[in-house]
Amino acid sequence: AMIFFIAALAELNRAPFDIPVGESEVAGGPFIEYSGIRWSMFQLAEYAAIFVMSIVFAS
């Protein structure tokens, strides 16, 4: 269970595995050029991935 949890954190780019979004990317990382519906779709996909990983981890 612990290995799955660590792998899920790495897959979802959560701390401490969020190195691809470096400190130099202050205001939103690589998604700074997106706004409106495109940005919301990226956010929705990220939250959906978190939701799915939570369901898999809980079951």
Radius of gyration of the chain measured on its C-alpha atoms: 13
pLDDT of residue 22: 57
pLDDT of residue 35: 81
pLDDT digits (tens, 9 = 90+) for 4-50: 888 888 877 776 666 655 566 556 666 677 788 988 888 898 889 88
Better-scored residue on pLDDT, 57 or 20: 57
**CA 22 – CA 18 distance, rounded (Å):** 7
pLDDT of residue 7: 84
